[in-house]
Amino acid sequence: MSIEELSLDTLDGIGPVTKQKLENAGIYTVLDLAIRGPSEIAEAIGVDLKKAIEFNSSARLRLMELGLLEKEFIPASEIYKKRQNIERITTGSKNLDELLDGGIETQAVTEFYGEFGSGKTQLCHTLCVTVQLSRDKGGLEAGAIYIDTENTFRPERVFQIAEARGLEPLKTLDNIIVAKAYNSSHQELIVSEIGSVVDKMPIKLVVVDSAVAHYRAEFLGRGTLAERQQRLNRFMHLLLRTAEARNLAVVVTNQVQAAPDVFFGDPSKPTGGHVVAHTSTYRIYLKKAGKNRIARIIDSPYHPERETVFVLNEKGVDDPEETTSKKR
Ligand code: GTP
Ligand code: MG
């Protein structure tokens, strides 16, 4: 495949003006066009839905011809082959990796939810470092994109984690592209631009910390709940399609209030509600337990519900000392 074959103006009906409009909306290649919904395309370039569907379809067709997109009816063997390309990133904790069957997966969205201080942001920082480790150490020798919605990204913390894990700290920071999202629309725009970053440098992880904070703040009250869910839904699907199309791991966080008297009774009421829950491929609930943190995998296509213990220290996410070598 050559990059020319993915150029927007090779598609019928896309001239310089339309191309410019698409680029303004963060759609730079046929790949980007194919993973956007027709209504988004229509909105972006000011055409009717019918025309947008045409553009989207011809983009999808091109990708199918290039073998980059599955056909509507796919032999299971092809899905199997694609899944063979799934890669995993270590979380820094053997326990947590084991819970996740080897780490955070590419081609999937993994959601970590839990109360304040449960370690969601710390885990995100750690993953931005571990993704850069060599493959024999559980990394993918690639960089990360960090979408920061709560202004909690701390390069100093990344520096410390990188150093503790034997990586060159400044080089490690070079490989993390940070985007601050000021509101939900900005957050969506940033995600729509991921493709242009991935085209320029090897990226295997996209973090959105937190995925839902802006939506929660902006859509208050019952009347706006449906709209909030619809927007979140669109956002989560865009993330999932990006993860699949680019073979990268997406990690999102979601804050929930702990139910004080229920341990693991029914904590599964993340702020994003069911939309986030259903789009995420894996959902992990995090909870403080003294100095330790408990992670529980909530629902996934093939993991039974299980839990494990990890800690936060200078290496970021790590195993508790007494269980490091013990099989849980
Ligand atoms: P919210 O964003 O408020 O929902 O919380 P969160 O789940 O993102 O929590 P976060 O990851 O920020 O965890 C905060 C906790 O991490 C603190 O209470 C500390 O226990 C721990 N922590 C943060 N920084 C450090 C550090 O530099 N060293 C160590 N050892 N622990 C840290
Ligand atoms: Mg946080």
Q: What is the CATH number of the domain that holds 194?
A: 3.40.50.300
**pLDDT score recorded for residue 327:** 44
pLDDT grade, residue 313 (50/70/90)? very high
- Helices 16-24 and 38-45 pack at an angle, to 10 degrees, of 110
99 near 308, Cβ under 8 Å? yes
Ligand 2 centre from 116 Cα, in Å? 7
Residues 157 and 249 in one domain: yes
Residues 24 and 148 in one domain: no
Ligand 1 atom with minimal separation from the 119 CA = 11
Q: How many CA atoms lie within 13 A of 161 on its CB side?
A: 26
What contacts 24+ positions apart, CB below 8 Å, involve 51-60? Answer: 51/13, 54/13, 55/11, 55/13, 55/14, 58/11, 58/12, 58/13, 59/11, 59/30, 59/31, 59/33, 59/34, 60/34
Q: Is there a domain that residue 149 lies in?
A: yes
Ligand 1 atom with minimal separation from the 160 CA = 27
Q: Is the pLDDT higher at 272 or at 278?
A: 278
Min mean pLDDT across 42-51, 123-132, 218-227, 258-267 is at 258-267
Ligand 1 atom with minimal separation from the 210 CA = 2
Distance CA 233, CA 148 (A): 19
Instruction: Indicate whether 3 pLDDT > 90.
Output: no
The protein residue with its alpha carbon nearest to ligand 1, atom 14, reads 117
Residues 61 and 126 in one domain: no
Q: Is there a domain that residue 70 lies in?
A: no
Omega into 210 within 30° of 0, i.e. cis?
A: yes
Residues 200 and 310 in one domain: yes
Min mean pLDDT across 52-56, 99-103, 129-133, 254-258 is at 254-258
C-alpha angle 47/48/51, rounded to 5°?
80
Query: Percentage of residues in the chain with pLDDT exceeding 70?
Result: 88
Residues 126 and 180 in one domain: yes
120 near 114, Cβ under 8 Å? yes
The CATH number linked to 49 is: 1.10.150.20
Ligand 2 centre from 224 Cα, in Å? 25
**pLDDT score recorded for residue 44:** 86
Query: pTM for this structure?
Result: 0.81
Residues 155 and 245 in one domain: yes
Most confident residue range from 124-138, 216-230, 313-327: 124-138
Ligand 1 binding pocket mutation candidate from 96, 122, 165, 285 (most atoms within 8 A of CB): 122
Instruction: Indicate whether 322 pLDDT > 50.
Output: yes
